[in-house]
Structure 1
Amino acid sequence: MHLNALWKLCLLGLSLPVALGHPGEHEAEDDEVTIIHKRMFKENARRGLDQCAKRFEESGFNARAETRRRALYDLHRRSLASRDTDSVLDTSHLVTDSSITASTDAADLFTSSSTCVLNPEGEVGPFYVLGELVRSNLVEDEEGVPVILDVQFVDVTTCDPIEDLYFDIWNCNSTGVYSGVVSNGNGNSNDESNIDATFLRGIQPSDSDGVVTFNTLFPGHYSGRTTHHHVIAHLDVTVLSNGTITGGTVAHIGQLFWDQDLIYEVEAVSPYSTNTVTITTNADDRVFATETEDTTSDPVFNYVKLGDDLSDGLLGYITIAVDTSATYDPTYSFVYTANGGVAESGGSDEIGGDGGSSSSPGGGGSGGAGGGPSQ
């Protein structure tokens, strides 16, 4: 199958009581318990991942991933590479060469990639909206560079794919604005209609190989943060008739990134180029540094360009190893309900903090809170 053909196929498929900063600001200091938990997770992750490479090969996990990603122009053979912040920054995640064109056969595109491990206590930011819809196409009427995301979740302890994990993802639009939020620092704070918007937010369950696929857009930027996507992984949820989820636990919170040279390339085209806010680079981003300081983590998408021009879109892919025994209660400041969005804080006490205090099952961070509109 060729690039253009598959791309066409995939395309078918308020003011708060308190002033909030943008995601990444007002970071809470880790307490002693959190520091110990992080250390234990990283030690267990290293031991588990050392055993996963052989298990992936012997169980047929890699072979199934290769077949699937060929259908998405992705030949998948992941190895578990050791990384830190400097090596991640110095690594190009563009999977291509000078011979690749829009008509190149998928089997010739890729030969290797990396596996990402993110600490489940990563930062959620203050603009997580509870009650978003279960759906795969998040674009709506937004303009920007089209992106197909192929994300695979595996259990860091057993190396097995995680089925029925509900992947919750959101990012800002091409000019740095999040939907579902009316707040200082998020576009025009006088535009109260934005609280009812849902663009570039959604939730999808993983299949038997732990895979979730989204159609979305490349994020823009805003002051103080590099380009990124937010990630929450829900387990054991119930899907409501109105197309939202409720209950369960959150086993993973994190953020995902793109190569800096690709960010500059995207930011040079419209409508990204209309944003005059100074770009914060990966190298200067606090969250990027935190999520790449451990040698088992590379939270940057591998990607391929789907045509000769950015308007043809990108395919980004990554594997995330999750500690399924972890349980976290992410903060939220807005809820999407049957009557639209409302400002309502919940979850952990620190709005915009690290988003990772332990909680019991069914905590506020994984509930439907009334859910979205009936479908």
Structure 2
Amino acid sequence: MVQLTNFVYAITAASIIGAVTAHPGSHDGASAAELARRSNFIASSKRSLAGCASKMKARGFEEKAIARRAALAESIRAKRSIQGGRQYLKARDLATVLATDHASDLEGVTLNTDYSTLFSGNVSCVLQPEVTQGPYYVDGELVRQDIRETQGGVDLYADVQIVDVATCEPVPNLYLDWWHANATGVYSGIVASGNGDSSDATNIDNSFLRGVQPTDEDGVAQFLTVFPGHYTSRATHVHILGHLNPTVLANNTISGGTVSHVGQVFFDQELISTVETTSPYSTNTQELTANADDQILSEEAADMDPFMEYVLLGDSVSDGILAWISIGIDTSASYSVSSAATWTEHGGVANSNSGAGGMGGGSAPSGTGAPGGGMTAPTGAPPS
């Protein structure tokens, strides 16, 4: 097991476009009112963030990010005994989203290329429009960094920095939920049609590729996971959800607090295509939806760029990927979310109102609330 020590603190331009939900049959086009609300949201967020870039640079964010990204990359490569490596840079073109393939525009990168070139970038941060959590959200997940368990796939070292859009300052002590499908397009903890073998009731008790991490003083949470797999009708993505002021329970889960952010992050199509040629991704028989064909992405792709920056740690994706993103949020916001299930030390418990189905042998741990009521905020609902 690879243990991560030197956290990377990444600041890049990033945002999430509006969405309805995230699974088959649940992402119809947005209404005119919803689209108008999103447009106003984007316009106001751009204005409020106009001064953030200069403030963040003046406070030394860029220098700190470069140094820590480099330290983490070298630490991982050393522990994985990876030789070479630095020339295999992949970088986003921040000027566009789907109009380009997001391949590196750097020429002549070698082992001697300075890290300030490899890891520097726009230090601005774009407020991330809220999206619903999707039908496969499970509350009660463990606070842990390594969420792979026994899942196969390409190791992904993910760094997410959360910034307060009102102050341009990092947000410490925010507990970030992170979850996604495995290499063959299946979510743990959910028994439902469209999520793998719906006759396999044991999946309700699984917890792979789900976890929670608190942000540190620099607003950074980090996860060691595997690159997400695809499933029918959606481009490859990861769900995130931020909790402010929750209580950490004795069983290493969280309860209560306020849900201040709900979103998704995405990956370059070229990277997805490369990963999909490797095992076990290549055994996935579900239809692969390209970024350009994803309804959620396509609605406002001209204005938003919700992709993670990344570098390959070695000669191929099989050596692992280091990816990072910075997200601006409104810390005064409060959203109400409902879970499809709750994970407990004895297994999963489905929320009977979620439509996800399945019931494990567990019962909700003390302090986490009812299966469908854990981790809820008292007011509001995120725009869809």
TM-score, length of structure 2 as denominator length: 0.77
Q: How many aligned residue pairs are there?
A: 335
1:79 to 1:289, Cα distance in 2 relative to 1, 3 A:
closer
CA deviations over 1:155-188 (Å, ceiling 9, x no partner): 1111111011111110100000100111111111
Aligned counterparts, 1:273-292, within 5 A: 273-290=282-299, 292=301
Residues 31 and 217 of structure 1: CA distance in aligned 2, closer, same or farther (over 3 Å): same
- Identity rate of aligned residues, in percent? 44
In the alignment, what sits opposite 2:217? 208
Which residue of 2 is the match for residue 10 of structure 1? 4
Q: Which residue of 1 aligns with 2:156?
A: 147
User: Which AA in structure 1 matches 2:270?
Assistant: D
User: Which residue matches 1:168?
Assistant: 177
Q: Is the 8 A contact 2:92 2:103 kept in 1?
A: no
> Does 1:70 find its partner at 2:64?
no
RMSD of Structure 2 on Structure 1 (CA): 3.4
- Give the corresponding residue for 1:59: 59
Q: Counterpart of 1:241?
A: 250
Which segments of 5 or more consecutive residues in structure 1 lack a partner in the other structure?
A: 1-6, 14-20, 352-361, 369-375
Deviations 1:31-66 (A, max 9, x none): 788667544532331122211011101222333222
Unaligned residue ranges in structure 2 (runs of 5+): 8-20, 75-85, 357-368, 378-384
Shift of 1:304: 0.3
| TM-superposed deviation, 1:274 | 0.7
Any idea what the Cα deviations from partners look like across 1:90-111, whole Å, max 9, x if unmatched?
A: 151658655346x977555323
* Preserved contact between residue 49 and residue 165 of structure 2 (Cα < 8 Å): yes
C-alpha distance in 1, partners of 2:37/2:297? 20
Render the CA deviation track for 1:217-243: whole Å, top value 9, x for unaligned.
001111111111011111121111111
Which structure carries more helix by proportion? 1
Residue 264 of structure 2 is matched in structure 1 by 255
1:290-305 pair list within 5 angstroms: 290=299, 292-293=301-302, 295=303, 297-305=304-312
Offset of 1:69 from its aligned partner? 1.7
2:144 to 135, 151, 166: 135
Displacement, 1:72? 1.9
Does residue 1:316 correspond to 2:326, yes or no? no
The aligned runs of 1:167-206 (5 Å cut-off) are 167-206=176-215
In the TM superposition, residue 261 of structure 1 has moved relative to its aligned partner by 1.1
C-alpha distance in 2, partners of 1:227/1:27?
Answer: 15
- State the TM-score, normalized to the length of structure 1: 0.79
**Structure 1 letter corresponding to 2:100:** D
Paired residues of 2:185 and 2:286 also in contact (CA < 8 A): no
In 2 relative to 1, CA 79–323 (structure 1 residues): closer, same or farther, beyond 3 Å?
A: farther
Question: Match of 1:215, SS?
Answer: strand
Please name the residue that 2:227 is paired with. 218
Residue 172 of structure 2 aligns to a residue whose secondary structure is: coil
| 2:341 aligned with 1:334 | yes
